[in-house]
Structure 1
Amino acid sequence: MSLRSRTAGTVLALAVPFALAAVPPDAAPVPEADPFVWTDLTPAYTATADYQYEPFAVTDGYTPVGGCTKDTATGKGGAGYHYVNPAHVGSLDPAEPAGLLYETDSDGGRALVGVEWIVRAGTAATAPTLFGQTFQGPATLPGVGSVYTLRAWIWKDNPSGLFAPWNPTVTCP
């Protein structure tokens, strides 16, 4: 069994039981997620488990865009560093998030904290929905342009909610 397979299996075994800047500053509050949404998010866990080791994400086509993103307008938290896979922009497949969100860990490396689905605003007249949630935006994501986004904080708890645009526990150096 490869290290990547063991890592994914271990992460899923530990994460799933515990599981039961591209957002405008005036974004509406995020409604509570359906408690069964974690079942729908399982493909996202499986697809991104290996990316807890940031070099695997880069090898698989995710590239860093911009610096660390935080909400400077209202101070609601941060989103961290965005890594985007252009091949997944526009996808509403739970197993193909276009973005990965990282923060700096205690060793100076990158820790995966969330995932993000990104749809270009020009391709959708209204904000799309996924997991019963309406995407935020449109807003501008560096290197991508005007987009709608939906963030899911599946790798780090967010006291503001699973799908909140900002996480108050994510900080930028």
Structure 2
Amino acid sequence: MARRLALVLTTTLSLALAAVAAPAAAAPAPVGPETGEAASALAAVYAATARFQRHEEAVKAGYVPDKYCVTNRSGPGALGYPHFNHKLDNSVDPAHPTALFYEDDKKGGKRLVGVQWLVYDRDQNLATSDDRPALFGKAFKGPQRGNFPGQPIHYALHLWLWKKNPLGEFETYNPAVSCRPGTVRPTPQV
């Protein structure tokens, strides 16, 4: 475990240094999630979340684990086990995501696979989006209804930072993430 954490920290530091110390190109750099400010923001997320590879560190930092694994009910993939720190709702700081997503590591533990930022819609109107935030050069998805009673209409941005998503790093669900049988929230009986 210590060896894996050392590798993660070394990789994180390398990405951060590369983003900050990269020489300016003669031609303007293309705009995208891997360049300029977006690259610096991505390096900040790696640096800030590397310690959460150790599940207990996330819990100590205020991320509350959900006991259920979340699947995509309308298609392939899953989110995994969400861990929310609602004190970080409305953050667009790369170093402070609202949620962390974990999957079972097949050894009885959890492995960090992704993160999410969640920002409340200012006017709580699904028909307007003039306050849509962006991060990494990507607009947040939404506005969308709350996922549980009392959660406001909001925007969300997912980033599959620690596990590749074949559909794209900013897609909501990751088909490479799955939930073990018996770990999904039961469907409410009507």
Among the aligned pairs, what percent are the same residue? 36
Q: Give yes or no for the alignment of 1:129 onto 2:134.
A: yes
Q: Give yes or no for the alignment of 1:159 onto 2:160.
A: no
| Equivalence for 1:11 | 8
Write the letter of the residue equivalent to 1:59: K
| Equivalence for 1:141 | 147
Write the letter of the residue equivalent to 1:35: E
| Equivalence for 2:34 | 35
Aligned counterparts of 2:11 and 2:136: Cα–Cα separation in 1: 22
Deviations 1:120-154 (A, max 9, x none): 23467523211111112313234771332101111
Unaligned runs of 5+ in 2: 20-30, 181-190
The change in CA–CA distance for 1:156 and 1:136 in structure 2 (over 3 A counts) is same
RMSD of equivalent CA atoms:
2.6
Unaligned runs of 5+ in 1: 21-31
The 3-state SS of whatever aligns with 1:108 is coil
Aligned counterparts of 2:165 and 2:89: Cα–Cα separation in 1: 24
The structure in which a higher percent of residues are strand is 1
Write the letter of the residue equivalent to 2:160: W
Length-normalised TM-score, structure 1: 0.77
Structure 2 contact 65–84 (Cα < 8 Å) conserved: yes
| Equivalence for 1:47 | 48
- Cα deviation for residue 81 of structure 1 reads 0.9
- Cα deviation for residue 69 of structure 1 reads 1.1
Of structures 1 and 2, the one scoring higher in RCO (CA 8 A, sep 6+) is: 1
Give 4+ residue runs of structure 1 displaced > 6 Å after superposition.
none
Alignment coverage as a number of residue pairs: 154
The change in CA–CA distance for 1:71 and 1:11 in structure 2 (over 3 A counts) is same
